[in-house]
Structure 1
Amino acid sequence: MSKMQPAYAFTASASAFLLIGLLAGCASEPPLPPGGAQTGQPGYDGQAAYNKPYKVKGKTYFPLTSATGYREIGLASWYGAESGNRTADGSRYDPQALTAAHKTLPIPSKVRVTNLRNGRFIDVLVNDRGPFSPNRLIDLSQGAATQLGMQGQTEVEVKYIDAPADAQ
C-alpha cells in the first residue's frame, strides 16, 4: 500500500510560493506620469517612470537624461490648491515648499529661477511634471512664487544647478 501525502502539505507549499511571488511584486517604480510612460525609447533604460517619455493631451514629452547646461527663459505660473496631492516623484505636494513642475527636466533636479521683472531668484526642487498649458515653462509652488515676488504669470529664467545630493 502506498502512503499518501495529506492534502494540506501541497496547499502549504503552494501558498508559500504564491506569497513569495506577491512580495516580489511589492518593489515597484513610482506611479507613471500623466498619460503613462512609453517604453523602449533609447537612453531611458533604468530610469524611473517619471523620467521616461510620457503623453499628455496628445503630445509626447521626452524628459532630459542630463540637464547640464540647461538654461531657458519663459513664463512661470504658480499653483497651490493641489495641497496634499501626489507629485510625479510620489511625494505629497506642499504649497509652501520650494518646489516646481517642469515638463522635461529630470526629476529630481535643482534649478535657479530668476524673476526677470525684479531680479529676485530662488533655488527650487523639480519634483513634478507640468505645466501643460500653452506658453508656460515652469509651475512654481505658492511658496516659491511668493519669495520671487510673482504676480500672475511672470517671465523667468530657469537654470539647471544640479541633482540633489540624495538623488545621486
Structure 2
Amino acid sequence: MMKRQILVIIMMISTLGIYSFNKYNANDAKTSFASFYHDKFNGKKTASGEIFSNSKLTAANRTLPFGTQLKVTNIRTGKSVIVRVNDRGPFHSSRALDLSKAAFDSIGNPDRGTMPIEYEIVD
C-alpha cells in the first residue's frame, strides 16, 4: 500500500511539474540554424503553389502556416531581415529555416552555407 501511495505522489508531482514549467508560446523567439536555397530551385513551384525566386525575401519552415512573417536575426552579426514563409523544409533536423538567397545574403555570408539564427513571428 505504501509503495502505491508513493508512486501516486511521484506521478502527481511529475504531472504538475510538466504543466507549471511549460510556458511555451508560439510567438517566442527561437534559435536554430538556417541555410539557403540553391539556384536550381528558381522558377520551381513551392509547397504553397507560389513560384520560387531566390531574389525575394522568403523562407521554408516545416510547420508554420504559409504567409507567416518572420524576423530572422543572424546571431553572429546581429543583422535582421523579415521573410515570408511560402514553402516546406528544410528537411535537415538541425535547421529550422531555408532562406532565399536574397534573405540569407542580406544578413549572412553565403560562403558559409549555414548560420546560427534567432527567429520570431512578426505581425
TM-score (norm 2): 0.73
Cα distance in 2 for residues equivalent to 1:136 and 1:149: 15
Moved over 2 A (4+): none
Counterpart for residue 161 of structure 1: 122
Cα distance in 1 for residues equivalent to 2:26 and 2:92: 25
- The number of residues matched between the two structures is 96
Letter in 1 for 2:87: D
- CA-based RMSD of the aligned residues comes to 1.4
Gaps of 5+ in 2: 1-24
Percent sequence identity is 38
1:73 maps onto 2:31 in alignment: yes
TM-aligned CA deviation for residue 89 of structure 1: 1.2
Query: Which one has the largest radius of gyration?
Result: 1
Gaps of 5+ in 1: 1-66, 163-168
Q: 1:102 aligns with which of 61, 83, 86?
A: 61
Cα distance in 2 for residues equivalent to 1:94 and 1:161: 22
Q: Which has the higher helix share?
A: 2
Q: 1:143 aligns with which of 88, 97, 102?
A: 102
1:113 maps onto 2:80 in alignment: no
Deviations 1:21-79, CA, capped at 9 Å, x for gaps:
xxxxxxxxxxxxxxxxxxxxxxxxxxxxxxxxxxxxxxxxxxxxxx8524210010001
Letter in 2 for 1:135: S
1:91 maps onto 2:50 in alignment: yes
Cα distance in 2 for residues equivalent to 1:85 and 1:70: 32
TM-score (norm 1): 0.54
Cα distance in 1 for residues equivalent to 2:35 and 2:45: 19
